Amino acid sequence: MKDVKVAIVGAGPAGLGCAVLLKQMGIATDDMVVCESNKIGSSFTAWPKEMRMITPSFPSNGYHQTDLNAITPDTSPAFSLGKEHPSGKEYAHYLRSVAEHYDVSVLESTKVTEVKQQNKDCFLLQIESGEIIKTRYLIWAGGEFSSPRLNTFRGSDLCLHNSQVKSWDDCEAEDYVVIGSYESGVDAAFNLASRGKYVTLLNTGHDKQETYDPSRVLSPYTAERLSAMANTNLVELQQGFQVDEVRVAENVYELLSTTGDKLTCSGKPINCTGFDAHLGAVSGLFDRTENGFPVVNQFDESTLYPKLFLSGPKLVHGDILLCFIYKFRGRFIAPCSVIAADLGLDISILNDYEQAGMMLSNFSCCETQQCYC
């Protein structure tokens, strides 16, 4: 049995961000392990080939304004990749370079299938291969890409979830319906229309929100692409069509709405309804909010199981989503500070995180979002 002080599950930006910070605080290599079921950054390598980061990268670190896609204050995907909107494959390359540079040891092909608390001082991680890892602290950073929403409505299985698309070149039909018009829905519509396909883009709900919080409204990158599509006759935006059922007859897909409206298309409908809040092996170890989000304390620690932390896009504090794109980077400090205090690590590096805007401890900036011009 491997016995460590800290185990991190997931080698995406959230898991690696915490791992690097602990390394910078001086944790010994043998005291920490990162378990990754696939390869470093595998959610990004699974993106459709054409998908790009929506957050722009810029090498602004020189004046304490970190590249928005960076996971440490002193690295920049814009600088190392020479791209403003890296592809998933490129971003995974950046993540691997960061892990190598900081000598973070990642156990790839190591899937954690079960987590149990042995006693209040340790967790046991069951690995798919049969191994067991014993750890005092556990940071769950398993992401959401492995739990796409595949059962949102009847007949969901007839659709293609956007996380299952390898390249939009593989979509050969003439016309498609894209369900969901947030980031991935607009991305799907844009890529299909760029290939000359007719697309009906379903907006299933909300009106424009008076905020510029990127966790709640379309990013400028996506909004710009949406307005570019308005000048073509290939994309039709349909408001308020809540899909109730999808069925197929004679190679035509029928979409029925909750109010009885009907749409048809010849290509498999593209499901862009997002991802579940499923937390894999630690699902039962967190209390849940009414909306199904895991409940954490001020250190992003489970309120049911102390020393179990959450890092990544499912983090919420009250009404604040930490969320989806780059904001969760500001929370690497929460679990790492608690662990550092217990293990007697050097926390002076936190000054760099604070200067770089990667130390989000006061959420008032997320509460009132005002833009004066």
Ligand X SMILES: Cc1cc2nc3c(=O)[nH]c(=O)nc-3n(C[C@H](O)[C@H](O)[C@H](O)COP(=O)(O)OP(=O)(O)OC[C@H]3O[C@@H](n4cnc5c(N)ncnc54)[C@H](O)[C@@H]3O)c2cc1C
Residues that bind ligand X (CB under 6 A): 9-15, 35-38, 42-43, 51, 53-55, 69, 111-112, 141-143, 145-146, 183-184, 187, 280-281, 312-313, 324-326
Contacts of 151 (CB under 8 A, 6+ apart): none
- Residues 8 and 35 sit within 8 Å (Cβ to Cβ): yes
Residue 54 vs 343, nearer CB to ligand X: 54
Which are the contacts of 12, defined by CB distance < 8 A and separation ≥ 6? 41, 42, 43, 44, 95, 141, 143, 312
Residue number, 69 or 271, with CB nearest to ligand X? 69
Least distance in angstroms from the C-beta of 22 to ligand X: 15
Nearest approach, Cβ of residue 132 and ligand X (Å): 14
DSSP state letter for 154: B
Is residue 61 helix, strand or coil?
helix
Alpha-carbon 17 to chain mean position: 13
Closer by beta carbon to ligand X, 57 or else 156: 57
Task: Judge if the upstream peptide bond of residue 323 is cis by omega within 30 degrees of 0.
Answer: yes
Nearer to ligand X, 54 or 263 (CB): 54
CB count, 10 Å around CB of 222?
20
Q: How far apart are CA 15 and CA 7, in angstroms?
A: 10
Q: Taking the complex as a whole, how short is the minimal distance between the CB of residue 344 and ligand X, in angstroms?
A: 27
Provide, rounded to whole angstroms, the least separation between the CB of residue 287 and ligand X: 20
Two tokens at 96?
């691997």
**Least separation, in Å, of the C-beta of 208 and ligand X?**
20
Between 29 and 113, CB nearer to ligand X: 113
In the complex, least distance from residue 249 CB atom to ligand X, rounded to whole angstroms: 31
Contacts of 170 (CB under 8 A, 6+ apart): none
Given a contact cutoff of 8 angstroms between Cβ atoms, the answer to whether 89 and 38 are in contact is no
What's the min distance (Å) between Cβ of 231 and ligand X?
A: 23
Letter for the amino acid at 207?
D
Nearer of residues 183 and 256 to ligand X, judged by Cβ: 183
Q: Which is nearer to ligand X, 43 or 80 (CB)?
A: 43
Residue 185 and residue 190: Cα distance in Å, rounded? 9
